[in-house]
Amino acid sequence: MFGYRVPAPDEAMLISGGRRGLGGAPFRVVTGHGKFVLPILRKTRFLTLAMCEAEVAETCVTRQGISLTVKAVIAFKVGNDHESIVNAGQRFLSDQDQMAVLTGRIFAGHLRAIIGSMTVEEIVTERQKLATEVLETSKTEMAKIGLTVDSLQIQSIDDGDTGYIEAMSAPHRAAIQRQAQIAQAQATQAAVEAQQVAARNQAEYARQTAVVQADYSAQVDRAQAQAAQAGPLAQAHAQQEVIAAQTELALRAAELRQQQLVAEIVKPAEAEAERIRTLAAAEAERMRIQAAAAASHDRVALDRMLIDQLPQIVKEAANGLAGANVNVLNGADGLGEIAAGLVGQGLTILDSVRKNLRADPEDGGSPSNAVEVRRPQGPADGRVDLD
């Protein structure tokens, strides 16, 4: 629309002419929205609020008197507040590129001042401290011209041909190299150990694989051998079963034949033997009875014969006394006693003969008809002893 002007998001619109701006500023500041501007009567200009960059390459002398070339980059912009926009607009609106030039010069001066109070070791090892001090010292000066610094980065520090920084870094470089060599050696050792472990693992795996393959081959061989022997073994088992069956059949046939022989021969023989034993026992009993009867008959006849022979025995005994020298002490009574003694001796002899004849012929005894008559041998006094 004619007369309506709108600034970009990173710009501030400065309207001059007419009434003055806030705080006595020679122009009005518009940001973030549009505004009607009367042509011819009002003049509109735009001030960038975008980020700008300034580079610094300055040769500085340290506290030790060593020259250093320091390169830095400054990121800055116009402040967002009304005062900063007015200050920057009054200084850089006609030539906004001068903001970078002026910022570089300002920071170069502060950089020389701060480096002059530090040693090379501090500058090299404490770059962030250097950047912070430069920012702090330049903040007030930059605010006066309406600029704010977002960051300061030290890009490089060079001592030229002096070799001070290189000499300073030599021990650290040697230590780093030593650590690098140690790390390399450790890495090499770890790699060798890993290779050895891998080789051992591979060897162990190969061994286990060989063992498994050998076991598998052995199992296959056993299975094949068992399969090859299955036929002969089955045939042998079948033959063994046939032989066992035949043996069992033969044993049963032998038992049957034995039973038949027992029934046909042994039992009849035992029966015949028992019959013969029974007959023999009966015959023996009959003969014993007959022998006993005969013996009894013979004893009766013998007793009768002995009784018949008793007078003769007494007579013979008396005849034996006829030649003996007998002294009779008591006369007729004495003679009677002698006669009674002869008769008694005869009876005793008869009784002894009977006992001998009654002895059982089966006990080894045998009857005897001999009778021994001993002549008594009397003492010289005329007494007679009868045995």
Task: Give the C-alpha separation, 54 to 104, whole Å.
Answer: 6
Residue 99 lies in a domain: yes
Of the candidate ranges 74-78, 99-103, 236-240, the one whose mean pLDDT is the lowest? 236-240
Q: Exposed, middle or buried, 15 (CB in 10 Å: 0-12/13-18/19+)?
A: buried
d(CA 85, CA 75): 17
Q: Which tops the pLDDT comparison, 294 or 222?
A: 222
Asked if residue 189 is part of any domain, the answer here is: no
Give the type of residue at 252: R
Q: How far is CA 73 from CA 105, 151, 291, 340, in A?
A: 12, 8, 171, 193
Q: Considering the domain boundaries, does residue 103 fall inside one?
A: yes
CA atoms 197, 201, 206, 210: torsion sign: positive
Cα–Cα distance for residue pair 349/172, rounded to 1 Å: 163
Q: What confidence tier does 371 reach under pLDDT thresholds 50, 70, 90?
A: very low
Does 90 have pLDDT greater than 60?
yes
Which is it for the CA torsion 226, 232, 236, 241, positive or negative?
positive
Q: 332 in a domain, yes or no? A: no
Q: Is 89 exposed, middle or buried (0-12, 13-18, 19+ CB in 10 A)?
A: buried
Mean local confidence (pLDDT), 121-136: 87
Q: Are strands 52-61 and 43-48 parallel, antiparallel or unpaired?
A: unpaired
What is the predicted pLDDT for the residue at 259? 85
CATH number for 86: 3.30.479.30
Range scoring the smallest mean pLDDT among 33-47, 93-107, 201-215: 33-47
Which residue from 108, 109, 89 is spatially nearest to 99, judged by alpha carbons?
89
Indicate whether 348 belongs to any domain: no
In the chain, what percentage of residues exceed pLDDT 70?
75
Please give the helix or strand (H or E) that residue 178 lies within, else none: helix 164-261
Q: Has residue 111 been placed in a domain?
A: yes
| Residue 286 or 322, more confident | 286
How does the average pLDDT of the chain come out, rounded? 78
Task: Report pLDDT digits (tens) over 136-175.
Answer: 888 888 898 899 998 888 888 888 788 888 888 788 778 8
Q: What is the pLDDT of residues 55-68, one digit of tens each?
A: 999 888 988 888 88
Within-domain flag for 126:
yes
Name which of 309, 324, 330, 332 is nearest 385 in CA terms: 324
221: in domain = no
Q: How many independent structural domains does the chain possess? A: 1
Segments forming the whole domain that contains residue 75: 51-169
